[in-house]
Amino acid sequence: MKIALAQLNYHIGNFESNTNNILNCIRKAKSMQVDIVVFSELAISGYPPRDFLEFDHFVSKCLDSINIIASECIDIAAIIGSPSFNHEPKGKRLYNSAFFLCDGKVTAIRNKTLLPNYDVFDEYRYFEPNRTFEIIKYKGKRIALTICEDLWNITENPLYVVNPMDELAKQNPDLIINIAASPFNYEQSETRKEILISNAKHYNLPLFYVNHIGGQTELLFDGGSMVVDNKGKIFEELNYFEEDLRIYDLRFKNSECKIQNVEIENSKLQTPNSKLLFIHDALVMGIKDYFHKLGFKQAILGLSGGIDSAVTCVLAVKAMGRENVKGVLLPSRFSSDHSIKDAEELAKNLGISYEIIEIEEAFNTFEKTLETQFAGLPSDLAEENIQARVRAVILMALSNKFGYILLNTSNKSEAAVGYGTLYGDMCGGISVLGDVYKTQVYELANFINKDKEIIPINSIKKPPSAELRFDQKDSDSLPEYEILDKILFQYIEMSKGPDEIIAMNFDKNIVLKVLKMVNSSEWKRYQTPPILRISPKAFGMGRRMPIAAKYLI
């Protein structure tokens, strides 16, 4: 049996594009005498469709696309993910389904059993869980067709009370096919491999797995579709962060199975081999897809000469091309000469257009306007924030006038503790580094510079500063980032409480101060741009905290 894995980049709600891409893959697979071509979970709608699923029209459009694709499935079968209606009188109105198409029609539908409702997932909000289990018979083979989470209940501490594969295994399948929408984080690929290997070994069955690639606002999908043999050995992984199509010949002899690769012209495999490369490639893809899928063409960002704006700028250029990225230097009376020089050097190294717009006159105007109200009061945070907001006004004015989309350059450390100006440096269309801790930003900068100096060395080495007052440094207000980031990681990613973190030999006063800053800044984070997710726990849709709360404040 020849099985093709089609790893595609879908666009939520773009039925014409999604359908055409699927049809093109089916035609290519048919020309290679493929028996079954497999697409990913909710491929028709894109993932996650979220509250679009509340519209009957949206779901009907999905099913219309399924019927169009089914008509192409003559002398070939396809497995495609799509929502479907639940016609039973009880339960939620939809299923998360895998459609089996052949002979020009839908011949079987299998529904997802395990519906994740944690972190970024909210499938139980929309879908009814499957409660019946039946394999699919095709060309003399018995297929255990599963959907993403259905294979993830094989751990030592299972989250669900039923294991779909245990039920399907009773029907003696010959192979497992799993269609998935597994979002990227820098640990996910290894976790995913362990889960798939465990399933293949436990059930002694070859496993064919297909994932999405592409950016869907904050969620990023890395691909990494794969084939695992019945002994738990990974036969092959598809490309990461790229569309890919692979064809495999699965043969059975007695109780043994053998998998062979059917080569496709110009095929290649590129597996990221480091955490930093994973993060780098994910962020580049996230920027590229956010702009492409929204129809945006050009990006603008403020260049301060600091590490965050430098790394953001490099990633944007790699995603969109230097001709589509514009830098703006916005110096004030507090800006150092080297900051301007470093920003200019970066722009020249990247070959992007840039300009310098002084904010002093605008800042003076605001000071004069508020002269009566601020009379007799010392300069403080209010004046600092005015500068940040003046910069934002200028950047957004250029955005409106010329059609740029502003890139937010704040990092996760700053976002965590509220070290940023709302409607100032916290504004933007997309937050590129909002899930990247400051220490990781430095690692990314060094990774970017590994072959040649792109980011000026001074931007990497100098003490970080917002430069909103004379001789200001981040360390005036925050613990050193090496300490801060470790505390934040334990609290945010690992969900450790203050006592547990203090027990790790962190200073008690620093821990309590940091956790208070995190929780008291929730109202600010609620108003920030979407953040590209690269960690197991990012700010945004996967971390849902109350705003008006007293915990640790």
- The residues, any chain, with a CB within 8 Å of residue 110's CB and separated by 6 or more, are 97, 98, 100, 130, 134, 136, 145, 146, 147
Say whether 112 is catalytic.
Answer: yes
End-to-end CA distance of the chain: 61
Residues whose CB falls within 8 Å of the CB of residue 395, separated by 6 or more in sequence, listed in order: 300, 301, 302, 328, 330, 406, 427
Q: Report DSSP state, residue 122.
A: -
Residues in the chain, total: 553
Q: Where are the beta strands (DSSP E) in 238-370?
A: 244-253, 256-262, 298-302, 325-329, 353-356
- CB-CB contact of 257 with 250 (8 Å): yes
Q: Which of 2, 112, 293, 496 is catalytic?
A: 112
Contact (CB, 8 A) for 244 and 223 = yes
Q: How far is CA 37 from CA 210, 414, 504, in A?
A: 10, 46, 51
**Contact in structure between 479 and 515 (CB atoms under 8 Å):** no
237 tagged catalytic: no
Q: Which of 57, 157, 160 is nearest to 113 (CA)?
A: 160
Inter-residue contact 438 to 423 (CB < 8 Å): no
Catalytic residue of the set 41, 218, 384, 467: 41
Contact (Cβ atoms closer than 8 angstroms) between residue 405 and residue 430: yes
Q: In the numeric block, which tokens belong to residue 94?
A: 């939809």
The tokens of 523 are what? Answer: 């109202």
**Residue 148 annotated in active site:** yes
* The one catalytic residue among 62, 148, 313, 427: 148
Q: CA 400: distance to chain centroid?
A: 27
Among all residues, which ones are annotated catalytic?
41, 112, 148
